[in-house]
Amino acid sequence: MFTGLVREIGHVAALTTTRGVTRLELDAPRCAAALAPGDSLAVNGICLTVTGVERTRVAVDATAETRRVTTLPRWRVRDPVHLEPALRVGDAIGGHFVSGHVDGTGRIVSLQRQGRAASMTVALAPALAGQLVSKGSIAVDGVSLTLDAGPFPGRFTVTLVPQTLAQTRFGAAGVSDHVNIELDILAKAATRPLTLTSILMRGWDRQGRSEREET
């Protein structure tokens, strides 16, 4: 579990794919010291497992499914990436709960400076846009943001405050850049009526009807 607060802008140092598994080596001088094999690390919003740490370099592996639903196939050596280690007990939660399970990708279609801040509009699949909630949270490349316009059919708009522009790669982002999208966990639960609770309730109701019919 993560919070959507980027701890470091790392860089892709090496990237190779063998037998369906992509191995990434990341330059992460700030995060590396606190990581060990087996830890979780969000890389542009993708929850990946650390497989090795050597000085300031961190290695992670990604499967074919991860490449299918994320922007990872577009990454190249020297690309900047958002890094956030997993949330630990006692850590402050300043953003929102982010699982690191990317729902799909989007594309920046507008990025307009507004003084020291910026307004960013992202296009995404209508099926994903339909699950967004007005003024709700969304993770874009792992960054916790709040919808300030929309959602509209196939797009949404967020405001990037000066701190976000300074602490993320969005300060150098451009129109047509592709980004990872993770919908808010609570919003997804609200738009999916068949929850565990509803399944259990339906089971209890069926059991009650059976007992009444037997009597």
What integer best gives the mean pLDDT of the chain?
Answer: 88
- pTM, full prediction: 0.85
- CA pair distance 190, 170, nearest whole angstrom: 29
- Kindly report, residue by residue over 127-138, the tens digit of the pLDDT: 899 889 888 899
Output the six-digit token pair for 103: 């729902």
- CA pair distance 58, 177, nearest whole angstrom: 25
pLDDT band (50, 70, 90) for residue 139: very high
Residue with structure tokens 């007992």?
Answer: 211
- CA pair distance 29, 42, nearest whole angstrom: 15
- CA pair distance 90, 6, nearest whole angstrom: 18
Phi, psi of 109 (to 5 degrees): -110, -15
pLDDT band (50, 70, 90) for residue 198: low
Q: Give mean pLDDT, residues 137-159.
A: 91
Measured over the CA atoms of residue 65, residue 66, residue 70 and residue 75, the dihedral's sign is negative
- The confidence score (pLDDT) of residue 44 equals 98
Measured over the CA atoms of residue 161, residue 2, residue 138 and residue 107, the dihedral's sign is positive
- CA pair distance 168, 128, nearest whole angstrom: 24
Structural domains for the chain: 8-85 (2.40.30.20), 104-191 (2.40.30.20)
Per-residue pLDDT for 213 more than 50?
Answer: no
Q: Where are the alpha helices (DSSP H) in 58-152?
A: 64-69, 126-129
Per-residue pLDDT for 111 more than 90?
Answer: yes
In 3D space, the residue among 79, 12, 77 whose CA is nearest the CA of residue 48 turns out to be: 12
Per-residue pLDDT for 208 more than 90?
Answer: no
- The residues facing 106 across adjacent strands are 124, 179
Per-residue pLDDT for 69 more than 80?
Answer: yes
Number of other CB atoms surrounding residue 52 within 10 Å: 14
Q: Give mean pLDDT, residues 47-57.
A: 97
